[in-house]
């Protein structure tokens, strides 16, 4: 029996993919984002599931991810969403990786690598319409296209951009990005603007491609945005109580004595801490489910241990299941709730938990 593990619900993943595909519309091809080890959910099992669902392509961050996907036998198109270093061009060509580009160094290195292999590789141009991160400014796009024209071995298939605040569809900045992208894409074959928020808010309809990320895993960029209630959580995090003790009133709990028992209390210790991706910021803020009841995290979260106040619960003992993320009975702790308690976002939470814990895949 493991001390802690993640449960990854592949049926929930399939459900979320169908929600994204339905909201994007039948004419929109879905690029399913599996970067960061599929947001902590597991690159290969998630990729297989999404390909089976009908994903047009997979979006990754590192060429090494493409190599792993190819070695797993998946022949789906793969897109490097954040570009490549020049020394990664050969691997990109070898594994038929489409690359989002925004510098001439990328384009030239890909051109050379593909020509040496007798290939032509697809590239998309990243346009910065207001994210301030990666990409060519719209005003510089015509000159960039002219500079690409003589290069052999690459084929420009379209442009891509990213919304800075897709959860705020009425914000003038979002409207400005959509307009800037529309103007930039007039002469292109394909274009791609829709991230999870854009799809949920209906902004991706009419675009040939959309690239959902976090929504595939059951969260929205903003839990209150339109469409968020349609999603199902994919990840659960479970552990077991390792020790239970009764403390008198006035007893400090854990490092720094940040919590002192207000009265006679029963404290359960679980073998989970910040080394397991459970944020220290959840000290005195987190919540767990024990015996179907929500109980608070008390005291400072340690490297490998966390304490829960289970006062008033009958029969709590070592070995009992604890749900830190997910459902038990009719109670639920969501990724958005836990992330908000830690002052972060569900993306970071899933990635942190996914890096540190064994995963069980549920069909």
- Residues carrying an active site annotation: 35, 255
For 15-28, give the secondary structure using H, E and C: HHHHHHHHHHCCCC
How far apart CA 86 and CA 102 sit, in angstroms, is 12
For the range 356-360, what are the long-range contacts, defined as Cβ-Cβ under 8 Å and sequence gap of 24 or more? 356/275, 356/276, 356/277, 357/4, 357/5, 357/6, 357/237, 357/276, 357/277, 358/2, 358/4, 358/5, 358/6, 359/5, 359/6, 359/7, 359/8, 359/41, 359/42, 359/45, 360/5, 360/6, 360/7, 360/8
Among 210, 173, 208, which residue's Cα sits nearest to residue 194? 210
Q: In terms of Cα–Cα distance, which of 20, 30, 50 is closest to 38?
A: 50
The CA-based angle 118-119-121, given to 5 degrees, is 155
Residues 6+ apart with CB under 8 A from 151: 107, 108, 111
Query: How far apart are the C-alpha atoms of 59 and 30, rounded to whole Å?
Result: 10
Q: Round to whole Å and give the CA distance between 328 and 144.
A: 54
CA distance 197 to 163: 9
Return the beta strands (E) in the chain as ranges: 4-9, 29-33, 57-60, 78-80, 97-101, 121-126, 154-160, 190-194, 209-210, 235-240, 243-247, 252-253, 259-260, 265-270, 287-290, 293-298, 306-309, 321-328, 331-333, 359-362
Tokens 């009719």 map to which residue? 330
């Amino acid at each position: 029996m493991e001390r802690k593990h993640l449960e990854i619900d592949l049926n929930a993943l399939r459900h979320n993919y169908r929600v994204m595909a339905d909201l994007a519309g039948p004419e929109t091809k879905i690029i399913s984002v599996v970067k960061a080890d599929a947001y902590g959910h597991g690159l290969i099992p998630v990729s297989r599931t999404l390909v089976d669902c009908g994903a047009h392509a997979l979006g990754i961050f590192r060429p090494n991810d493409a190599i792993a996907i190819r070695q797993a036998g998946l022949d789906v198109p793969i897109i490097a969403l954040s570009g490549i270093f020049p020394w990664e061009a050969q691997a990109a060509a070898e594994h038929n990786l489409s690359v989002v580009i925004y510098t001439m160094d990328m384009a030239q290195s890909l051109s050379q690598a593909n020509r040496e292999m007798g290939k032509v590789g697809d590239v998309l141009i990243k346009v910065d319409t207001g994210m301030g991160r990666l990409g060519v400014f719209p005003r510089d796009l015509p000159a960039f296209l002219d500079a690409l024209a003589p290069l052999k071995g690459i084929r420009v298939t379209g442009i891509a951009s990213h919304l800075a605040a897709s959860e705020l569809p009425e914000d003038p900045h979002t409207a400005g990005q959509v307009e800037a992208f529309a103007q930039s894409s007039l002469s292109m074959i394909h274009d791609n603007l829709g991230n999870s928020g854009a799809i949920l808010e209906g902004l991706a309809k009419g675009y040939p491609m959309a690239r959902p990320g976090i929504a595939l895993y059951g969260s929205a960029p903003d839990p209150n945005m339109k469409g968020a209630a349609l999603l199902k959580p994919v990840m659960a995090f479970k552990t077991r109580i390792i020790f239970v003790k009764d403390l008198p009133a006035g007893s400090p709990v854990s490092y720094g004595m940040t919590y002192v028992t207000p009265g006679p209390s029963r404290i359960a210790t679980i073998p989970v801490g910040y080394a397991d991706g459970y944020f220290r910021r959840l000290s005195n803020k987190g919540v767990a489910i024990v015996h179907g009841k929500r109980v608070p995290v008390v005291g400072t979260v340690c490297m490998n241990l966390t304490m829960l106040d289970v006062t008033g619960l009958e029969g709590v003992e070592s070995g009992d299941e604890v749900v830190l993320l997910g459902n038990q009975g009719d109670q639920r702790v969501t990724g958005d709730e836990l992330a908000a308690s830690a002052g972060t976002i569900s993306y970071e939470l899933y990635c942190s938990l996914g890096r540190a814990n064994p995963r069980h895949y549920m069909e």
